[in-house]
Amino acid sequence: MDVELLVVSGCPHELGAVEMVSAVADELCLAVSVSTTVIETDEQARLRGFTGSPTILVSGHDLFPEAGAHVGMACRVYATPAGLSGLPSIEALRKALGDAAAS
């Protein structure tokens, strides 16, 4: 499974996202390849449907789509049981990766 992280340069959550995706993939016994793409312009953000850094994609599809989310150069905020965070909860990522692997 190919996982792509879309980030802005210097994103403080990039490394955490890579580590979290790798850990959950190992836990679920999924063979994944994680790549990172830096979004550098508003045009790139528009073309990729980038709604903030980090965005986690599987086969080009956002694992955490939000209807009406603003597209552009920004940090992304995820709603988690502990409150707003720069990363999704481990439980939400586990479910999203598991669902993506099953489809």
3-state SS of the chain: helix, strand, coil percent to 5? Answer: 35, 25, 40
**How confident is the model over 49-103, as pLDDT tens digits?**
999 999 999 999 999 999 889 999 999 999 999 999 999 999 999 999 999 999 8
**Domain limits at 6?**
2-102
CATH number (domain holding residue 79)? 3.40.30.10
∠ CA(64), CA(77), CA(38), 5° rounding? 80
Tell me the pTM: 0.94
**How confident is the model over 16-63, as pLDDT tens digits?**
999 999 999 999 999 999 999 999 999 999 999 999 999 999 999 999
CA distance linking residue 11 with residue 6, whole number of Å = 10
Q: Amino acid letter at 42? A: D
Q: How many domains does one find in the chain? A: 1
CA distance linking residue 89 with residue 79, whole number of Å = 8
Q: What is the pLDDT of residue 11?
A: 96
Taking phi over 0 as left and psi of -120 to 50 as alpha, with beta for the rest, 39 belongs to beta
